[in-house]
Amino acid sequence: ASKSTLPYHVRADSHQHLVAQKLFRIAEQKKSNLIISADFSDTDSLLQCADELGPYIAVFKTHVDIVHDFGEKTVVGLKKLAAKHNFLIFEDRKFVDIGSTVQKQYHGGALRISEWADIVNVSPLGGWGVVEALEQVISNETSPYRDERAVLLLAEMTTAGSLATGKYTQKCIEIAKQRGGAVIGFVATEALGTAEPDLTTTAKEDFLIFTTGVNICQSGNILGQQYQTPEAAVRGGSDFIIAGRGIYTSENRVETAKQYQREGWNAYEARIAS
């Protein structure tokens, strides 16, 4: 699978999506391709993590449906900290339903995701309609967030026995290429062969690879989660590495985050030099 060997700033300059441009620039400024997966069940813990690790990450990934006291304080706090530390917010919602339902889950509802998440992901298990549905909401002329919202397709999963392989993954690539501009990339374990070797000719399909299941110390857990190291992930084509428990359950999460940041960044520098 081909992977991009271009520096983030080159990809920022040529990318047509504002969120991808912003993300590449943040990565370059902070020398970080690290995303923390902040799977906390209360607002205070979530916000404290964002404030402590904010300086070392490019993106803060949430699962707000596990936050028992989710509300105004969560939304305002996340937005404030994103501005303070210059990171984007990715709600790992994995929309998987018919388009009409997904529109209601994304926009409004209990979680008001479109209001605060720069990035969301979707599984096109039910076909392209769900992607179209999100794009409709995002590109609606009355939307105050037009151009500031992006979508990732869940192309692969890290778990043992995952069914998100082969034809399904290929279909994700097709959908990303065929649909409008809101899809900026994939959640995948490695490069999916979509990287363009030379963006100076066309930057139409510079899809970003976001990789979950990153852990320096462990290879997996009893519920089937499988890990790779930051170095292996980036070498394999990951543009942004996502780590949760490997960081936030460690004794000193700030030092551990810095270690993941360093390892991810060194691997990126090695890749663009190759």
β 183-187/34-37 pair status:
unpaired
Residue 212 touching ligand BMP (CB under 6 A) = yes
Q: Which stretch binds ligand BMP (CB under 6 A): 12-20, 66-74, 134-142, 212-220?
A: 212-220
DSSP 111: T
Name the active-site residue from 13, 31, 97, 171: 97
Q: Which is nearer to ligand BMP, 234 or 243 (CB)?
A: 243
In whole angstroms, give the CA distance from residue 229 to residue 181. 31
- Closest Cα to residue 24, out of 6, 1, 42, 41? 6
Q: What is each CA distance from 252 to 34, 54, 87, 190, in whole angstroms? A: 17, 15, 21, 29
How many residues make contact with ligand BMP (CB under 6 A)?
16
Tokens of 72: 């105004």
- The reply to whether 65 belongs to the active site is no
Q: Identify the residue among 113, 244, 260, 267 touching ligand BMP (CB under 6 A).
A: 244
- The reply to whether 92 belongs to the active site is yes
Q: Identify the residue among 242, 256, 259, 264 touching ligand BMP (CB under 6 A).
A: 242
Q: Which is nearer to ligand BMP, 89 or 242 (CB)?
A: 242
Residue 105 touching ligand BMP (CB under 6 A) = no
- The reply to whether 206 belongs to the active site is no
Tokens of 25: 């620039």
Residue 225 touching ligand BMP (CB under 6 A) = yes
DSSP 138-182: HH-TT-TTTTS-EEEEE----STT-S--HHHHHHHHHHHHHS-TT
Shortest Å distance, C-beta 227 to ligand BMP = 7
Tokens of 63: 């699962």
Residue 103 touching ligand BMP (CB under 6 A) = no
In whole angstroms, give the CA distance from residue 190 to residue 233. 7
Residue 92 touching ligand BMP (CB under 6 A) = yes
The residues assigned a catalytic role are 92, 94, 97
Chain residues that interact with ligand BMP, rule: CB under 6 A? 37, 39, 63, 92, 157-158, 187, 212-213, 215, 225, 242-246
